[in-house]
C-alpha cells in the first residue's frame, strides 16, 4: 500500500474514489472542519481523458472554494459555443459565452480533465484530507451510527458517513441498487494535440465547436492557454447494434465520418486509436442514500456526455452535501454533532430530481444531434431560428445550484420537430 499521508485515527467521513467527484466532495467536507479520508484504488491519484467543459454552475462553486483563478491559469475561457452541421459545416446556432458570463456571473471554461483533478488534489492536501492510494474497496456494511467498508486486503475502515464516489461501475451501486449500465451503442474517441498540428484544418481556436451529423458528432476546443487542441469524435457503432463485443474499433471510426465536412475529416486521423470509450449511462434512481452510505457523482447519476455536466454534477453533489452539513452544524447545540441523517435527507431531496433531469435531457440531446433525413433538416431550421441570446434552454442548469427542491428552476419547454 502507498499512503500519500499517514492515517490519523478514525475519520468523520470516508470517501471511496479519488476522481473529481471524490476529491471535490472531500474538499467540500474538509472545509467544514471534518476529518476526511479518501480511498483510491489506483496506485496514484490521476485522471484519464482529455478536455472537460465547466459551465457557470461549476465555476461558481470553484470561485467559492477560492480555486477559480487557478483554473483560469490552466484552462481556456472561450468566446463562443458554436453548433454546425457536420455534413456541410453550416452554422446552426451559437452561444455568446462572454454574454453568458454576464448573465450568470461566472465564466464558461474548458480545461484538461487532469488539470481540474490536480486543482482538487492540491486543495485536499492543503485542507488536510487523508489521501490513501492502492485501496480497493470490495464491500460496504451498515453499522450502528455509521458505515463500514471492507478492502481487498481483508482490512476494514469505519466512519459516521461513507461517500461512495466510485464511478460508473460502482461497487456500492451494485450492492445497494443492483441495476446494470445502459449502452447507447455510441463510442467516443478523444485526442489532445499541440495546436500547431491543427492550425491549418479550418479550426476555430477561440470557440467550442460542435459538429452534429447523422449518427455522429465531433467536438473541438483549445486547452491549456490555447497551446493544446482537444477533439472528441462520437459515433454510433454498427458492431454494437449487431450485438458484437468488439465494438467501436478504429475502422468504424473512419467509416462513421466519411461523409463529413473537411474540418471534421482532417481531425479524424489525429484521434487516439489505441483507446476508446463506450458511451454508457444508467437509468435514474430515486434512492441515493442507504443508511449512512451516500452515492455521489457517477455512482449515483452517470450521464451521457451531451450536456457536458457529468463532472459538474459530481462537484455540485459535494457542495450541496457540505452546505447542508454546515447548516445543521451551525444550528446544533454546543458540544453536539450535527445530524448526518438530516443532512443526507436534504442532499437526496434536491439532487435526485436535478440529476434525473440532466440524465434524461442528455439522452434526448443525443438523439437530436444525430438525426438524419427530413428530421435533420427540420432540426437545422429550428436551430437556425434561435436567437443567440435566448437562454431559455440554459437557465435551468447554468444558474445557482439549488439547495432545496423549491430552489430548483423550471425546465425548458421542448420544441417539437
pLDDT by residue (tens digit) across 151-200?
999 999 999 999 999 999 999 999 999 999 999 999 999 999 999 999 99
347 annotated active-site: no
Can you count the helices (H) and strands (E) in the chain? Answer: 13, 19
Q: With bands split at pLDDT 50, 70 and 90, how would you rate the model's confidence at 9?
A: confident
pLDDT by residue (tens digit) across 198-237?
999 999 999 999 999 999 999 999 999 999 999 999 999 9
**Residues with Cβ within 8 Å of residue 307, at least 6 apart in sequence:** 358, 361, 362, 365, 397
CB 286, CB 300: distance < 8 Å: no
Under DSSP, the state recorded for 275 is -
pLDDT by residue (tens digit) across 319-376?
999 999 999 999 887 777 779 999 999 999 999 999 999 999 999 999 999 999 999 9
- Which of 171, 211, 145, 213 is closest to 39 using CA atoms? 171
CB 43, CB 133: distance < 8 Å: yes
Average pLDDT on 399-414 reads 94
pTM, two decimal places: 0.96
**Residues with Cβ within 8 Å of residue 206, at least 6 apart in sequence:** 78, 79, 80, 222
pLDDT by residue (tens digit) across 123-143?
999 999 999 999 999 999 999
Cell of 346: 436534504
Question: With 50 as the cut, is the pLDDT of residue 276 above it?
Answer: yes
Question: With 50 as the cut, is the pLDDT of residue 6 above it?
Answer: no
E strands present in 241-300 = 277-281, 289-290, 293-295
Residues, the chain: 417
Q: Around Cβ 242, how many Cβ atoms within 10 Å? A: 9
Under DSSP, the state recorded for 282 is -
**Residues with Cβ within 8 Å of residue 335, at least 6 apart in sequence:** none
CB 38, CB 121: distance < 8 Å: no
Q: Enumerate the β-bridge partners of residue 189.
A: 233
Q: What is the pLDDT of residue 2?
A: 40
Q: What is the pLDDT of residue 89?
A: 98
**Distance, CA of 239 to CA of 243 (rounded, Å):** 6
Catalytic entry in 65, 211, 221, 398: 221
User: Percent of the chain beyond pLDDT 70?
Assistant: 98
Average pLDDT on 32-38 reads 97
CA distances 231 to 190, 358, 404, Å, are 6, 23, 37
Question: With 50 as the cut, is the pLDDT of residue 1 above it?
Answer: no
Q: Around Cβ 271, how many Cβ atoms within 10 Å? A: 21
Under DSSP, the state recorded for 276 is -
**Residues with Cβ within 8 Å of residue 147, at least 6 apart in sequence:** 14, 140, 141, 158, 159, 160, 161, 162, 291, 292, 293
Average pLDDT on 291-308 reads 98
Amino acid at each position: 500500500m502507498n499512503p500519500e499521508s499517514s492515517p490519523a485515527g478514525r475519520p468523520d467521513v470516508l470517501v471511496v474514489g479519488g476522481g473529481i467527484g471524490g476529491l471535490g466532495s472531500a474538499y467540500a467536507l474538509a472545509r467544514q472542519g471534518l476529518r476526511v479520508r479518501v480511498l483510491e484504488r489506483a496506485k496514484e491519484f490521476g485522471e484519464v481523458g482529455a478536455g472537460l467543459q465547466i459551465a457557470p454552475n461549476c465555476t461558481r462553486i470553484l470561485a467559492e472554494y477560492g480555486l477559480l483563478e487557478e483554473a483560469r491559469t490552466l484552462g481556456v475561457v472561450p468566446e463562443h459555443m458554436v453548433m454546425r452541421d457536420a455534413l456541410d459545416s453550416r452554422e446552426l446556432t451559437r452561444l455568446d459565452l462572454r454574454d453568458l458570463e454576464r448573465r450568470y456571473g461566472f465564466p464558461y471554461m474548458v480545461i484538461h480533465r487532469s488539470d481540474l483533478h490536480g486543482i482538487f488534489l492540491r486543495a485536499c492536501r492543503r485542507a488536510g484530507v487523508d489521501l490513501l492510494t492502492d485501496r480497493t474497496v470490495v464491500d460496504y456494511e451498515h453499522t450502528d451510527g455509521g458505515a463500514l467498508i471492507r478492502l481487498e486486503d481483508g482490512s476494514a475502515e469505519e466512519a459516521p458517513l461513507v461517500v461512495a464516489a466510485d464511478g460508473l461501475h460502482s461497487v456500492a451501486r451494485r450492492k445497494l441498487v443492483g441495476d446494470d449500465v445502459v449502452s447507447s451503442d455510441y463510442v467516443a474517441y478523444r485526442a489532445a494535440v499541440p495546436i500547431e498540428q491543427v492550425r491549418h484544418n479550418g479550426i476555430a481556436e477561440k470557440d467550442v465547436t460542435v459538429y452534429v451529423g447523422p449518427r455522429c458528432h465531433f467536438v473541438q476546443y483549445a486547452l491549456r492557454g490555447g497551446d493544446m487542441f482537444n477533439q472528441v469524435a462520437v459515433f454510433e457503432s454498427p458492431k454494437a447494434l449487431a450485438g458484437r463485443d468488439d465494438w467501436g474499433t478504429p475502422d468504424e471510426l473512419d467509416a462513421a465520418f466519411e461523409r463529413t465536412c473537411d474540418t471534421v475529416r482532417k481531425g479524424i486521423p489525429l484521434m487516439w486509436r489505441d483507446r476508446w470509450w463506450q458511451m454508457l449511462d444508467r437509468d435514474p434512481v430515486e434512492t441515493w442514500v442507504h443508511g449512512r452510505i451516500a452515492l455521489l457523482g457517477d455512482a449515483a447519476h452517470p450521464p451521457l456526455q451531451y450536456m457536458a455536466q457529468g463532472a459538474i454534477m459530481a462537484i455540485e453533489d459535494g457542495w450541496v452535501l457540505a452546505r447542508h452539513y454546515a447548516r445543521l452544524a451551525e444550528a446544533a447545540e454546543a458540544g453536539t454533532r450535527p445530524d448526518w441523517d438530516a443532512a443526507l435527507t436534504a442532499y437526496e431531496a434536491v439532487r435526485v430530481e436535478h440529476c434525473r433531469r440532466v440524465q434524461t435531457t442528455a439522452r434526448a440531446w443525443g438523439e437530436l444531434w444525430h438525426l438524419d433525413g427530413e428530421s435533420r433538416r427540420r432540426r437545422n431550421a429550428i436551430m437556425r431560428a434561435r436567437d443567440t441570446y435566448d437562454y431559455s434552454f440554459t437557465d435551468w442548469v447554468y444558474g445557482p445550484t439549488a439547495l432545496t427542491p423549491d430552489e430548483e428552476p423550471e425546465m425548458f419547454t421542448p420544441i417539437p420537430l
